[in-house]
Amino acid sequence: MPTLTGSTVTVHPDGISPADVLAVARGPARVVLSPATLDAMATSRAIVDRIEAAGRPVYGVSTGFGALANTFVAPERRAELQHALIRSHAAGIGAPMPREVVRAMLLLRVRSLALGHSGVRPLVAQALVDLLNHDLTPWVPEHGSLGASGDLAPLAHCALALLGEGWVLAPDGGRLDAAEALAAAGLRPIELAAKEGLALINGTDGMLGMLLLAIADAGHLFTMADVTAALAIEAMLGSERPFLPELHAIRPHPGQAVSAANIHRLLQGSQIMDSHRDDLAHAVQDAYSMRCAPQVAGAARDTLGFVVDVAGRELRSVVDNPVVLPDGRVESTGNFHGAPLGFAADFLAIAAAEVGAIAERRVDRLLDVTRSRELPAFLSPDPGVNSGLMIAQYTAAGIVAENRRLAAPASVDSLPTSGMQEDHVSMGWSACRKLRTVLDNLTSLLAVELLAGVRGLQLRAPLRPSPAGAAAMAAVAAFAGEPGPDVFLAPVLERARSAIAGLDLRAGVERAVGPLG
């Protein structure tokens, strides 16, 4: 396995940043432990060693787990206890989680151990770092976590690789034997001591990793939603007046103001907009899907702001159980419960689903000859023989319906486990997984609107579009061409998806109109 090279993320006892997580999860950044981190872990480990030597009963050190918390474990079997814990809890099933999610989990578990409240030896955190730096990604099944006690099964699959057991992801998405992969990388399995197995699996790292990745994706997509909305509004001869700043100052939701300012700027300098500005027969008010775009996308932006705050607090939190306090106490906590992250993920999924839903409504208007203000049916210059984007809207409608199902909250669906010891769980893992699906679906919906909006602008020729519209037209024409006879549409939509998800289209638009909020 290759050793990754690139930028370096240093883990300190005071934590890491969201940007650090992205750099490791999605890039080749290397990870190093600061000297202060090694000292903090050594200090907390010394406390565990003293407790173990004294023979005091402490959960997870000298007892069993969950409903077996009152079962005493003899000193000579406590290392065995930690290994058995990892093996038994690595009980997930299903397709493997994406590499970026697992890498985020690994880094966040290193961060948790580095805070110095978990009582593990520094070599345990270094073993996780070695996996990251050698691009060894544990094979983690999609099903298994209830979000309390954190992400037990997914993290156990990660920890199992440290023991030279279980699997790691192969380059083709399959799985390799972990022992063979470690040996090929020049690494050795580790042996766990008291408390260390529990410290490797008790926490919210999977949920938080997915949420941090989703935050980055949602921030980009909400800006791209303003871009595609502006293209559709311009193509449908809409008005820019509902986006004037003074109209949003009297309803001071910050996200709404940002979205309105984006759309207003994107619509300036357009012959298409100028062509109907003084037309008294033109509609006095545009449809809600056009006029209320900032209210919906802006509310989603404000929801994202709340989620950013939640994730930021979690990134500074100690979520292990039990925790080692500086005064020598080892106390049980409930900090592993994923409710804050589950609620946030569910809320953001609702918001993202609605950003996609209103985009689909604009696509439907663009394709409907009775509402598109003289654009040809289904944006085909020869409708009848050709169907244009008719079925692309079907696809969008189906995705909107799926997003509505996925927007139903997971975090209200608790099921008791572990002999009723864990009688309320967060389902935060499920909430975060489905949030990522909603955002992936939103990418597809905005891709359909991008293609429809550009087709509409192309069909307004010879009128010149806005500079933003011209930039989008140039980017889309490179893979979709000009309006004409029907073509195999799926590859075009895939390229449109890539344009929405990537940075080049946004960069081209921003070169034309300036930075977007």
Q: Considering only CA atoms, which of 454, 477, 485, 458 is closest in space to residue 387?
A: 485
Q: For strand 93-96 and strand 30-33, is the pairing parallel, antiparallel, or unpaired?
A: unpaired
Element holding 482 (H helix, E strand): none
Q: How far is it, in rounded angstroms, from Cα 315 to Cα 309?
A: 10
Catalytic, out of 16, 45, 48, 59: 59
Q: For strand 30-33 and strand 8-11, is the pairing parallel, antiparallel, or unpaired?
A: parallel
The answer to whether the CB of 455 falls within 8 A of the CB of 484 is no
Q: How far is it, in rounded angstroms, from Cα 111 to Cα 104?
A: 10
The answer to whether the CB of 39 falls within 8 A of the CB of 120 is no
59 is catalytic: yes
Q: For strand 167-169 and strand 141-143, is the pairing parallel, antiparallel, or unpaired?
A: unpaired
Q: How far is it, in rounded angstroms, from Cα 382 to Cα 411?
A: 49
Residue 56 CB neighbours (<10 A):
11
Q: How far is it, in rounded angstroms, from Cα 101 to Cα 375?
A: 44
> What is the separation, in whole angstroms, between the first and last Cα of the chain?
41
Bridge-partner residues for 176, per DSSP?
168
Q: Considering only CA atoms, which of 77, 80, 96 is closest in space to residue 142?
A: 96
Token match 């689909």: residue? 360
Cis peptide, bond prior to residue 430, ω within 30 of zero: no
Residues marked as catalytic: 59
